Structure 1
Amino acid sequence: MITMRISTKMKKALNDQIALESAASNSYLAMASWCEVTGYQGGATFFYAQSDEEKTHMLKIIHYLNDVGAIATIPAVKAPKSSYRSLEETIKTALKNEQSVTKAIHKIVELAHKEKDHCTYAFLEWFVNEQVQEETKFETILQKFDLLGRDKLGINEVDKFLASDSGDPPSSTA
């Protein structure tokens, strides 16, 4: 067994972050499911990919904790919201979720700095940069509603954009 190389406080903070990433993954999964049954195939594709991405973030932290001998705790996660009024509401909710994750990451970075935990500080640098990209992504999507409109054609264009932003080609059906 590896001796724990981080503080108990840091271990708790990182385990709490695992729970937050897991909740984000489940939230995006619920959004994807809602989009799929509501007819937003681009949104569904986009949010399924987002869910996978959050799971990957969670796994990075799990592996890090295990590598430093702290042993990750796999959390129970409460059921996320599963119904939305609009595609735009899913994006606004996602942005709020990402802003919460950013605040949590910054608090852990501050703790690492305070504790002079250089290994964890360096590990978290990737997450800090990732959160800038995540928030920008959702802010850009919200701008699309202003640019393209909120009528059926505008929303269809945003849905196509979401399909293209997930790495899949946009749907050619209207």
Structure 2
Amino acid sequence: MKLSPKIKKALNDQILLEASASNSYLAMATWCEVTGYQGAANYFYAQSDEERTHMLKIVHFLNDLGATATIPAIKAPVSSYKSLETLIKTALKNEQAVTKAIHKIVEMTQKEKDHSTYAFLEWFVNEQVQEETKFETILQKFDLLGRDKLGINEIDKYLASEATTTNEPAA
């Protein structure tokens, strides 16, 4: 199977997005760790690993097709946040951007009748629904539990418990 140059470029652009997301979550984890949110730090370290796994799935897909993945340079992510809630809102925005990009590639594959790439991307489409839902659920916790120190502490504990359940196996 041969990829069109347009889809190959879109998948390589997606590698950049996934790599940037991984770095962004790594920076978020670092901010959480030094700010005293150990549960959130563990959660975002796991998220960073997950995004790297997503990137590798695309790298392997391209390489397996002989299309050769391009490993991009990535710019430094934001490394400081006003609050844990602001950080979570940023993470949700990042996931929404990734979802939009995946949907664009899916549309391309449909237009070009590239069924193999379309089938490959189905996993990402489903994954993005889960990712956005996770962050929306965390944001709801701020309304439910509050934004005072006790509420934030409960959210940090919740993130700690989620960190241990969200690790997906490597590709």
One-letter amino acid matched to 1:62 = V
How many equivalent pairs are there? 165
Matches within 5 A, 1:45-56: 45-56=42-53
Q: Does the alignment pair 1:59 with 2:56?
A: yes
Q: 1:160 pairs with 157, 160, 167, which one? A: 157
How far is 1:60 from its partner? 0.1
Output the TM-score relative to the length of structure 1: 0.94
For structure 2, the 5+ residue unaligned runs are: 166-171
Does the alignment pair 1:76 with 2:73? yes
Counterpart of 1:172? none
Shift of 1:5: 1.0
Structure 2 counterparts to residues 89-104 of structure 1, below 5 A: 89-104=86-101
Runs of 4+ in 1 over 6 A off after TM superposition: none
Amino-acid identity (%): 81
Q: TM-score, normalised on structure 2? A: 0.95
Which consecutive residues of structure 1, in runs of 5 or more, have no partner in the other structure? 169-174
Q: CA deviation at 1:100?
A: 0.1
| Structural mapping, 1:113-128, within 5 Å | 113-128=110-125
Deviation at 1:88, TM superposition (A): 0.6
* 2:30 is equivalent to residue 30 of structure 1: no
CA distance in 2, matches of 1:70, 1:8: 9
Structure number, greater radius of gyration: 1
The letter for the 2-side match of 1:103 is K
